[in-house]
Amino acid sequence: MAESSAPSERYAQGMKTRRSVLGDAHVDRAQKNQTPFDQPFQELITEGAWGTVWSRPNWTKRERSMVTIALLAALGQYDEVAMHIRATANTGATRDDIREALLHVAIYAGVPAANHAFKVAKATYAEMDAVDSAGEQK
């Protein structure tokens, strides 16, 4: 997407989906922190991940959330696991869903990956619960 051109339809859909999953605050922070160096990357993930894959009608956001968390855990991408755990507040994936996904990670990708992902998930849920009990927005 060139600077002078209007956003593509896929980018617009991607931004809509990205905001619905990650929340406006997260996307606004990412947009604010964007530089000319990473702008092409931000456009790529908005169009590709969010506008193409996450916007497909075949799976629900809940299903995509579970699969995404399992894949990220299997790959050891724990910062992204935490981000997507927080996003479950918007996708409908429950803690039971995420536990089941991480059990699959243990069998198919290895116990160490699942063990660390459980640690990350527990810490992230604790943070989310603390925010909820303080009466603040997630």
Average pLDDT over residues 112-137: 90
8 Å CB contact between 138 and 86 = yes
Average pLDDT over residues 77-104: 98
Decide if pLDDT at 46 tops 60.
Answer: yes
- Residues of CATH 1.20.1290.10 domain(s) within the chain? 59-138
Q: Domain 59-138 maps to which CATH number in 3.90.1150.10, 1.20.1290.10, 3.40.720.10, 1.20.140.10?
A: 1.20.1290.10
pLDDT value of residue 2: 46
Q: Provide the whole-model pTM.
A: 0.89
What value does the mean pLDDT of the chain take? 94
Decide if pLDDT at 88 tops 50.
Answer: yes
The model's confidence at residue 131, banded by pLDDT at 50, 70 and 90, is confident
Burial class (CB in 10 A: 0-12, 13-18, 19+), 116: middle
Amino acid at 137: Q
pLDDT value of residue 133: 80
